[in-house]
Structure formats: structure tokens, C-alpha cells
């Protein structure tokens, strides 16, 4: 008999609540208890909604139409840059937070609640979501697999919470890898949908359209369920794909950066899994023009500048202030151009067509996740170099607006998770999830590491 629901998948919890085998109230209480035990050391949550979450769980239990709730009673976490009614929206630091509380939920939060999920809290991110490690003056967020390492960023708190069993799934968003990098660091499935598939609605804070909302989960089935809810789709079973042609590339988008041996090995493992599943793999390196890198940087800088409007800039971290200054210059020089992004999108789509590819396989990371230290007080250059050296593979696919997923495939010699990235053409989210499901069946991973 189950004594705690901590460690159960979202699908298992929702099924039990719909059947009456568990109450949403008990499920949420179990997870709140685990948060109280683990989060002081982990630092995944900015705010925990103890009383409010129990009240909302009781309302779920009182509903008569539980059969129609795909996430009935499932505890979820929301990234702190996404509006939750009754809370301020933090954006990664006290200086970046909104001065007022949100009057209503962001659309993706509304959809999660509408599916029966209970928001237990909001998770930490680096200031303004700019960095691939999560910390600020209030503390450092840590990786459940090794507390001396970062869980990544910017959805670092979300990934840490899921990997530590504090919630079975969490919402995140991805502007230059902010779902996929933490997923890779923490051994999770992390899906960045393609452009326009899931509501963003961040106004001017979407980095000129680079940002997409998505889901972090410990299983492919949970990732697919969460994605369906966020996208407003009817949840469906994943279908085993027919024979695919998958390109394999180790080429990093940034010159001078090379994947280390464990990450090369992860791609080798994934290639073998694809072959065992009946697919064909070929070497196929995308060409990353210099203009793409420059466009990504300019848009990243300019997003920080535009998002700083109305903030006390002199109170922001020094690294963020420099980013904002560079963004002001990028805007003044008209370096942020939709035409550049459209051209790269067309070229990226043509890469799949010209090589008769269904998907592209790359490393998820180039190196080991950095140490969990106060990057918020380190220099701008230190942040830039360390981010680029360990996580260079994600940004081009935000710039193109194509969907991409990160999937665990094993462990490094030090015990940290290993992962790979799969990228697809437009509207290939379900295909990416299906192939990820084949990986999971052939090579299951340890789902969580309770702290």
C-alpha cells in the first residue's frame, strides 16, 4: 500500500485521484512535506504555497467531473517569471520582481489548473532568466544529483524540484535553452515546443519571440501529458514512429567549443538506440553561419534591455547591467532583425529537407554542469564563458523557432546524468516525444534522487 505519493509520476497520481484511490489533498500534503524536508538545502523554490495549495487540492477533491481532468490532483511548480494569481512575479531576483502581485494566472497556469493540477509554489531562476546557472543574493539552487553542481538555468529551480521528487512535473520556459539545459543537468525530459504551439504571452518579456513555454518531467509520458495540457490538446498515447532518418552531429554552434568524452559517448549511445529501434542514422552537420551567432547575441542582449524597462537597473546584478548596456547598443544599431531570424529558420528547415532527415541528434551539453556557486556576483565575462563552454547546443533552435527535446541516456563517471538533444522540423513535437519514448523503453533511467 502506498504510504506517500512522493516519487509517483503525474500520470499515476492523476489516475489514482480520478479513480478515488487517492485524494488530491493527501497527494499535495505529501509533496509539501517533502519540500519542507528537502528544499532548505536544495533551494528550488522562491515561494511555497502551503495553505493555498491544500485549499486548492480540497477543491479538486470536491469536483464531480474528475474523469475529465488529465492532471487531477497533480502537484506542479511554476517558474517564477510566469504569473500566478496572488503572487508577485519575481523574474529571478528581488530587484527584478514586479512591484505588484498578479491579478490573474498566466494562460499556461490557467490551463494547468483547468486540468486539475495544484500549484504548490514558484521555482527559482537566475536574474531575468539570462544565465545557465541558478542563484542570486538569496541563495544558490543545487542539483539533486550532486549538491556541489548547478541544476542549470534558467529553469534551474524547476528542474531541481522535479529531479528531487518535490513535484512530478514543472512548467518552465526556454529562451536560449532554459528548459533543455536544466533537463540535461538533472536527468529529465525537457521539451521546448516550436514557435506558436504553446501560449507565451509575456508581452515585451519574451526576448523578441525567442521564449517558449514547456514542461520538465521524469518520464516521457508525463512530458507528453504536460505538453498536451499546455498546448490545449487532448492528451493521447504516443505512437511508435515508422522508420526514420536521423542526422547525427557533434558540431557545436560556437567555434572553439568541443563536447567532452562523456557527452560524445552519450550521442554514440543514442545513435545505437536509434538503430536498435529500426531507424537510420547518418552524419549530418548543420552549418551555423556567423550571422546566427551574432543574431542570437544581439537578441539576447536586446531582450535584457527591453525587459529592464521600469526596473531599478542600478540595483540589478553587475552582470545583468552590462547585458542591458549591450542590449541598448544592439537596439540603437538595429541588430535585432526579424528578417535574419526568418532566413535562419528557412535554412534550418531546408537542412532537414535537403538531407531527407526527420530529426537531428546532437549532444545536450558540451561539458559537466558548473559548480553551484554565486555566479550572480561573478563577472559578466565569467558567466558568458562558462555558459558557452558547457551549454552551446540549444540557442540556434530558439532562433529558428523549431522544436527540440532533451532526453537522458545514462550517467557520467561522476554519477551526474548524461543526455542528448533531438531537434525536429515544425510541428514535430509528438514525433520527438515518441522517439524519446523509444529511448526510455530501451534504456530506462533513474527518475529521481531524493535529497
Judge if pTM exceeds 0.85. yes
What is the helix (H) or strand (E) element at residue 248, kind and residue range? strand 245-248
339 catalytically annotated: no
How confident is the model at residue 374, as a pLDDT?
97
Crossing angle (nearest 10°) for helices 220-231 and 107-114: 110
The mean pLDDT of 201-226, rounded to a whole number, is 93
pLDDT for residue 1 is more than 50: no
Q: Is 53 exposed, middle or buried (0-12, 13-18, 19+ CB in 10 A)?
A: buried
d(CA 90, CA 214): 19
Looking at the domain assignment, is residue 308 inside a domain? no
How confident is the model at residue 2, as a pLDDT?
53
- In the chain, how many domains are there? 1
Identify the CATH number of the domain in which residue 382 sits: 3.90.1300.10
154 catalytically annotated: yes
pLDDT for residue 384 is more than 70: yes
Looking at the domain assignment, is residue 284 inside a domain? yes
Pairing type for strands 75-79 and 118-123 reads: parallel
Q: Which residue segment(s) compose the domain that 196 sits in?
A: 10-290+335-442
Task: Give 75-89 pLDDT, tens digit per residue.
Answer: 999 999 999 999 999
How confident is the model at residue 357, as a pLDDT?
98
Catalytic residue, from 93, 178, 228, 271: name it.
178
The mean pLDDT of 148-161, rounded to a whole number, is 98
d(CA 359, CA 361): 7
97 SS3 class = coil
Number of C-beta neighbours around residue 383 at 10 A: 23
Supply the Cα-derived Rg of the chain in whole angstroms: 20
Cell reading at 184: 540535461
Looking at the domain assignment, is residue 86 inside a domain? yes
Catalytic residue, from 79, 205, 308, 400: name it.
79
In terms of DSSP H, where are the helices of 189-284?
A: 220-231, 261-276
Q: Average pLDDT of the chain?
A: 97
Cell 528550488 locates to 44
Looking at the domain assignment, is residue 347 inside a domain? yes
Looking at the domain assignment, is residue 206 inside a domain? yes
In this structure, the chain runs to a length of: 451
Q: Is 100 exposed, middle or buried (0-12, 13-18, 19+ CB in 10 A)?
A: exposed
Looking at the domain assignment, is residue 27 inside a domain? yes
Query: Please, which pLDDT band fits residue 125 given cuts at 50, 70 and 90?
Result: very high
In terms of DSSP H, where are the helices of 70-139?
A: 107-114
Instruction: Give the chain's largest Cα–Cα span.
Output: 64
79 catalytically annotated: yes
**Which of 365, 412, 361 has the alpha carbon at shortest distance from 391?**
365
d(CA 73, CA 15): 9
Amino acid at each position: 500500500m502506498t504510504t506517500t505519493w512522493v516519487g509517483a509520476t503525474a500520470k499515476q497520481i492523476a489516475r489514482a485521484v480520478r479513480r478515488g484511490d487517492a485524494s488530491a489533498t493527501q497527494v499535495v500534503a505529501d509533496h509539501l512535506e517533502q519540500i519542507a524536508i528537502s528544499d532548505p538545502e536544495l533551494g528550488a523554490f522562491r515561494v511555497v504555497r502551503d495553505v493555498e495549495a491544500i485549499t486548492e487540492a480540497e477543491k479538486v477533491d470536491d469536483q464531480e467531473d474528475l474523469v475529465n481532468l488529465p492532471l487531477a490532483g497533480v502537484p506542479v511548480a511554476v517558474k517564477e517569471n510566469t504569473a500566478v494569481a496572488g503572487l508577485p512575479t519575481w523574474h529571478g531576483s528581488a530587484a527584478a520582481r514586479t512591484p505588484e502581485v498578479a491579478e490573474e494566472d498566466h494562460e499556461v497556469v490557467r490551463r494547468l489548473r483547468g486540468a486539475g493540477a495544484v500549484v504548490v509554489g514558484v521555482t527559482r531562476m537566475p536574474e531575468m532568466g539570462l544565465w545557465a546557472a541558478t542563484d542570486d543574493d538569496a541563495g544558490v539552487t543545487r542539483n539533486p544529483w550532486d549538491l556541489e553542481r548547478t541544476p542549470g538555468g534558467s529553469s534551474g529551480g524547476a528542474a531541481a524540484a522535479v529531479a528531487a521528487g518535490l513535484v512530478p512535473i514543472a512548467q518552465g520556459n526556454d529562451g536560449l535553452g532554459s528548459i533543455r539545459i536544466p533537463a540535461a543537468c538533472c536527468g529529465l525530459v525537457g521539451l521546448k515546443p516550436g514557435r506558436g504551439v504553446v501560449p507565451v504571452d509575456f508581452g515585451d518579456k519574451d526576448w523578441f519571440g525567442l521564449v517558449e513555454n514547456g514542461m520538465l518531467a521524469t518520464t516521457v509520458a508525463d512530458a507528453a501529458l504536460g505538453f498536451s495540457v499546455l498546448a490545449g490538446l487532448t492528451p493521447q498515447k504516443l505512437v511508435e514512429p515508422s522508420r526514420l532518418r536521423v542526422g547525427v552531429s557533434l558540431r557545436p554552434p560556437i567555434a572553439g567549443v568541443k563536447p567532452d568524452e562523456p557527452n560524445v559517448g552519450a550521442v554514440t549511445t543514442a545513435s545505437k538506440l536509434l538503430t536498435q529501434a529500426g531507424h537510420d542514422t547518418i552524419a549530418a552537420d548543420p552549418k551555423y553561419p556567423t550571422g546566427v551567432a551574432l543574431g542570437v547575441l544581439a537578441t539576447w542582449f536586446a531582450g535584457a534591455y527591453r525587459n529592464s524597462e521600469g526596473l531599478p537597473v542600478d540595483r540589478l546584478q553587475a552582470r545583468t547591467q552590462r547585458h542591458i548596456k549591450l542590449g541598448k547598443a544592439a537596439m540603437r544599431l538595429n541588430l535585432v532583425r526579424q528578417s535574419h531570424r526568418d532566413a535562419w529558420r528557412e535554412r534550418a528547415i531546408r537542412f532537414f529537407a535537403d538531407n531527407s532527415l526527420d530529426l537531428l541528434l546532437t549532444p545536450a551539453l558540451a561539458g559537466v554542469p558548473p559548480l553551484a556557486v554565486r555566479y550572480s556576483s561573478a563577472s559578466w565575462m565569467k558567466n558568458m564563458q562558462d555558459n558557452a563552454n558547457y551549454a552551446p547546443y540549444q540557442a540556434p533552435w530558439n532562433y529558428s523557432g523549431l522544436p527540440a527535446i532533451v532526453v537522458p541516456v545514462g550517467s557520467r563517471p561522476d554519477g551526474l546524468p548524461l543526455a542528448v538533444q533531438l531537434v525536429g522540423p515544425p510541428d514535430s513535437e509528438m514525433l520527438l516525444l515518441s522517439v524519446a519514448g523509444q529511448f526510455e523503453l530501451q534504456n530506462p533511467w533513474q527518475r529521481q534522487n531524493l535529497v
